[in-house]
Chain A
Amino acid sequence: MAKKNTKIKASSNGSHNQNGTSHQDISLSVQKTYKLYIGGKFPRTESGRYYKLKNSKGKFVANMCRGSRKDFRMAVVAARKAQSSWAGRTAYNRSQILYRIAEMLEGRKEQFITELVELGSTTTAAKKEVQLSIDRLVYYAGWADKYQQIFSSVNPVASSHFNFSILEPMGVVSAFAPEELGLLGLVSIIAPAICGGNSIIILADEKLATPAISFAEVIHTSDVPGGVINILTGLRSELKGHFSSHMDVNAIVYTGDDKQDIIDIEHNAVKNLKRVRVYDLDWYSEAAQSPYMIMDLQETKTTWHPIAHDMTGGGGAY
C-alpha cells in the first residue's frame, strides 16, 4: 500500500503547502522535510540554506535544501568510498538491486503521482511518467548481467596470448538530472550509471526536486549500498562548476542544450580529463534507454596473458 503524505498549510514554519487533505482526516498531517541524500543518509545541507520550490503555476511546494560545494564534496567522498565495492558486486546482485528499486517504486506509485501533479503535471502524464520510470529500472535491471557479454571481446591476437577486453565502470560520476520529468529524467540517468557499477552524485532539477528526494527514500529501502547513489538539490548554476571541476570525479553527465553550460563544463572537465556525456533526449522515448548509455560510462580494459603450447612431440621411440 502506498503511503500518502497528507499535508496542511502550516505557514508558521514556512515549509509546506496544503495538499489533498481528506475531510475524513481527524489528525493533523505530518509534513515531510526534504533533505539531501548523501552516503546513504539524509542530512540537511551543511550550508543551512534553502530555496523555495514553486510549481509550474507559481505555487509554493516546499523548501528545498540549497546544496553547497561542501555537500557535493561530501557526496564525492561517499561515492568514492562506495564505488569499488559496488563494482565488485556480482552483476546478478546489481541486477537484483535495480529490480528491487523498481519494486519499491511500484509500491509507492501513488506518492510520486501526487508529487508530480503537485509540481504541475497532469495526472495522466504523471501516471505515465511513474510507470515508465518503473519500466526503465526493470529494463536496466535486465542489462546489468548482459551488457558485459554484448560489448566485451576476445581478441584474436597474432601471437601466443589470450587477449580480452572487458568493460569497467569509469568510477564516480557527477550528473545533472534533466530539466523535465522530475522522476523519469532522474531515473534515466541514475539507472545506466549504477547498472554499470559506477557511483553517482546527481543534482535534481531545481524545479522538480521533490520526487528526486522521495526517490532517494525508495533507493534507501532497496538494498542500494549507501554512497552508490547520492542526490542533491540546489541550483545548477551554482553547482555546475564544482560538479565539473572536482578532481576525484571520473565522468560528468550533462542534460540539456545550454551552449555556455556545455562549454564551461567541458573546460572544467579538462583538468583531470573527466569524460563528458551530454544528453538532450526525449526521456519518454525508446531512445532514452539503451545499453549504449551504460557503455557511455564504461572504460575498456584489455588484458594479455601468454598461452603455453605443446613443446614435445609426445615422446618418441628409440
Chain B
Amino acid sequence: MNFHSSPIIDQVGLEERAARLMKRSIKKSSKETALKLALNMIDLTTLEGQDTDGKVRQMCYKAMHPHDDLPDLPTVAAVCVYPTFVKTAKQALKGSKVKVASVATAFPAGQSTLDVKISDTRFAVSEGADEVDMVISRGRFLKGEYNYVFDEIAAVKEACGKARLKVILETGELSTLDNVRKASDIAILAGADFIKTSTGKIKPAATPAFTLCMLEACRDHYYKTGQMVGMKPAGGIRTAKDAIRNLVMVRETLGEAWLSNEWFRFGASSLANNIILQLEKIRTGNYHSMDYISID
C-alpha cells in the first residue's frame, strides 16, 4: 500500500484549532454530565515493573466502585494491565461490566520480533483480555517502512480474535503531526478498533494537538468508509479539566456517536480520583480533599 499520501497537517494551524477548543467553558449541568461521562471512559491503568496481583485486585475494586459516597456513579470502562495480570483482573472484575485490557507486543518499546509479539498477544487474549493495547514499531515507521508497520498491526489484529485492538502510536516518538497522522491512517487501515496516543512512558503524550490530529484521522476514515474507529488518548491526562477538554474535542470533531466508552477512552491512572474530587465539589459545594477519596 502507498502510505505516502496521508493528509498534510499544518502544525501551527492544528494547534490553534486545538487551543480554540480548549477555550470552551463547561459549567454547571454540562460539567457534571461531562465528568460522569469521562469517568465511564477511563481505562484505569497500572503498567509498572512493581505491579503485583494484590495491586491489580485493589485497582479492580476501584474500577467497579470509583467512589461509593456518590450514588449513581458509573464504573470506569476498563482496567489496563500487563498480560500476566489479565487473569487476576478478569477474576476480580467478574460480574461487572468493566472490561480487561492488556498491553502486548513487547510493550512499551515494541523492540522484539513479530513472533514474540504475536505470542504475547495470544497469551493476553487466552488469559481473557477483552481488549489488547499494542505498540507500533516506531523505529521501522521512522525508517519509512510503512508496509512493515501495517503488516505487523494486521498480524496482531488477527491474533486478537474477538478482542478489540487498540494501536498505540507513541506520539512523543513520532516527532511531527504529519507522522502522527500517517501512523493513524496505517493503524486504521490495518484494522485497529482504536487508535491510541501513547504508552504513558514517553512525553509528550496525549497533548491536545496529538489527540485532535488523531480524532481527525478517525473522522476522515468515517467519511470515506462509514466505519467508526475509536480513540484513546493516554498519558498526561490527569485532571477533570483535561478530560472535559478532550470531550469537547470529541464532540466538535466526531459528534454524538463517539461520546461513549464504546468509541472513546482515556488511558489514565490518577484521572478518576480527580474527577471524583470535582463531582464532590458539585455535590457539596465545597472544594474537596483527597483525604476523603480512596487511592487504589
Direct contact of A and B (CB under 8 A): yes
A186 to B109, CA, bound (A): 76
Task: Assess whether A311 is in contact with B203, with CB atoms less than 8 Å apart.
Answer: no
Task: Assess whether A312 is in contact with B108, with CB atoms less than 8 Å apart.
Answer: no
Task: Assess whether A313 is in contact with B11, with CB atoms less than 8 Å apart.
Answer: no
Binds B, one of A6-14, A65-73, A302-310: A302-310
Is B204 in contact with chain A by the CB < 8 A criterion?
A: yes
Task: Assess whether A306 is in contact with B204, with CB atoms less than 8 Å apart.
Answer: no
| CB-defined contacts of B259 to chain A, threshold 8 Å | none
Task: Assess whether B201 is in contact with A309, with CB atoms less than 8 Å apart.
Answer: no
Instruction: Tell me how far the C-beta of A96 lies from the nearest C-beta in chain B, rounded to whole angstroms.
Output: 40
| CB-defined contacts of A312 to chain B, threshold 8 Å | 172-175, 204
| CB-defined contacts of B92 to chain A, threshold 8 Å | none
Instruction: Tell me how far the C-beta of B138 lies from the nearest C-beta in chain A, rounded to whole angstroms.
Output: 9
Task: Assess whether B173 is in contact with A315, with CB atoms less than 8 Å apart.
Answer: yes
Is B248 in contact with chain A by the CB < 8 A criterion?
A: no
| CB-defined contacts of B175 to chain A, threshold 8 Å | 311-312
Task: Assess whether A309 is in contact with B11, with CB atoms less than 8 Å apart.
Answer: yes
| CB-defined contacts of A315 to chain B, threshold 8 Å | 172-173, 202
Instruction: Tell me how far the C-beta of A31 lies from the nearest C-beta in chain B, rounded to whole angstroms.
Output: 68
**Also in contact, A161 and B173, with CB within 8 A (given A316-B201, A316-B202, A318-B109):** no
Task: Assess whether B11 is in contact with A308, with CB atoms less than 8 Å apart.
Answer: yes
**Also in contact, A161 and B12, with CB within 8 A (given A313-B204, A315-B202, A316-B201):** yes
**Also in contact, A311 and B176, with CB within 8 A (given A316-B203, A318-B201):** yes
Task: Assess whether A306 is in contact with B11, with CB atoms less than 8 Å apart.
Answer: yes
A306 to B12, CA, bound (A): 6
A161 to B172, CA, bound (A): 23
Q: Considering only CB atoms, which chain B residue lies closest to A308 in the complex?
A: B11
Q: Considering only CB atoms, which chain B residue lies closest to A159 in the complex?
A: B12
Is A29 in contact with chain B by the CB < 8 A criterion?
A: no
Is B209 in contact with chain A by the CB < 8 A criterion?
A: yes
A312 to B173, CA, bound (A): 7
Q: For chain A residues 159-188, which have a beta carbon within 8 Å of chain B?
A: 160-161
Task: Assess whether A306 is in contact with B13, with CB atoms less than 8 Å apart.
Answer: yes
Is B10 in contact with chain A by the CB < 8 A criterion?
A: yes
A306 to B201, CA, bound (A): 30
**Also in contact, A308 and B12, with CB within 8 A (given A313-B204, A316-B203, A318-B201):** yes
Task: Assess whether B12 is in contact with A313, with CB atoms less than 8 Å apart.
Answer: no
Task: Assess whether B173 is in contact with A306, with CB atoms less than 8 Å apart.
Answer: no
Instruction: Tell me how far the C-beta of A90 lies from the nearest C-beta in chain B, rounded to whole angstroms.
Output: 31
Q: DSSP class of A's interface residues: helix, strand, loop or mixed?
A: loop
Instruction: Tell me how far the C-beta of A19 lies from the nearest C-beta in chain B, rounded to whole angstroms.
Output: 70
Out of B10, B11, B108, B202, name the residue touching A311 (CB < 8 Å).
B11
Is B22 in contact with chain A by the CB < 8 A criterion?
A: no
* A274-316 interface code vs B (CB 8 A; 1 in, 0 out): 0000000000000000000000000000000011110111011
| CB-defined contacts of A318 to chain B, threshold 8 Å | 108-109, 201-202
Q: For chain A residues 70-129, which have a beta carbon within 8 Å of chain B?
A: none
Is B177 in contact with chain A by the CB < 8 A criterion?
A: yes
Task: Assess whether B12 is in contact with A160, with CB atoms less than 8 Å apart.
Answer: yes
| CB-defined contacts of B13 to chain A, threshold 8 Å | 306
Instruction: Tell me how far the C-beta of B44 lies from the nearest C-beta in chain A, rounded to whole angstroms.
Output: 21
A311 to B208, CA, bound (A): 12
A311 to B14, CA, bound (A): 12
Q: Considering only CB atoms, which chain A residue lies closest to B174 in the complex?
A: A312
| CB-defined contacts of B177 to chain A, threshold 8 Å | 311
| CB-defined contacts of A308 to chain B, threshold 8 Å | 10-12, 176
A254 to B267, CA, bound (A): 72
Q: Considering only CB atoms, which chain A residue lies closest to B107 in the complex?
A: A318
Out of A160, A307, A309, A311, name the residue touching B204 (CB < 8 Å).
A311
Q: For chain B residues 183-232, which have a beta carbon within 8 Å of chain A?
A: 201-204, 207, 209-210
Instruction: Tell me how far the C-beta of A163 lies from the nearest C-beta in chain B, rounded to whole angstroms.
Output: 13
Instruction: Tell me how far the C-beta of B16 lies from the nearest C-beta in chain A, rounded to whole angstroms.
Output: 9
Instruction: Tell me how far the C-beta of A280 lies from the nearest C-beta in chain B, rounded to whole angstroms.
Output: 49
Instruction: Tell me how far the C-beta of A308 lies from the nearest C-beta in chain B, rounded to whole angstroms.
Output: 4
| CB-defined contacts of B204 to chain A, threshold 8 Å | 311-313
Q: Considering only CB atoms, which chain B residue lies closest to A316 in the complex?
A: B202
| CB-defined contacts of A306 to chain B, threshold 8 Å | 10-13
| CB-defined contacts of A160 to chain B, threshold 8 Å | 12, 15
| CB-defined contacts of B172 to chain A, threshold 8 Å | 312-313, 315-316
Q: Considering only CB atoms, which chain A residue lies closest to B12 in the complex?
A: A306
Q: Considering only CB atoms, which chain A residue lies closest to B207 in the complex?
A: A311
| CB-defined contacts of B10 to chain A, threshold 8 Å | 306, 308
A226 to B238, CA, bound (A): 70
In the complex, 24 of the A-B residue pairs with CB atoms within 8 angstroms, ordered by the A residue number, are A161-B12, A306-B10, A306-B11, A308-B10, A308-B11, A308-B176, A309-B11, A311-B175, A311-B176, A311-B207, A311-B209, A312-B174, A312-B175, A312-B204, A313-B203, A313-B204, A315-B172, A316-B173, A316-B201, A316-B203, A318-B108, A318-B109, A318-B201, A318-B202
Contacts beyond the supplied A311-B11, A311-B176, A312-B172: 12 A-B pairs with Cβ under 8 Å: A306-B10, A306-B11, A306-B13, A308-B176, A309-B11, A312-B174, A313-B203, A313-B204, A315-B173, A315-B202, A316-B173, A318-B109
The 7 closest A-B pairs by CB, nearest first: A306-B12, A308-B11, A316-B202, A160-B12, A318-B201, A312-B172, A312-B175
Q: A interface vs B, CB < 8 Å? A: 160-161, 306-309, 311-313, 315-316, 318
Q: B interface vs A, CB < 8 Å? A: 10-13, 15, 108-109, 172-177, 201-204, 207, 209-210
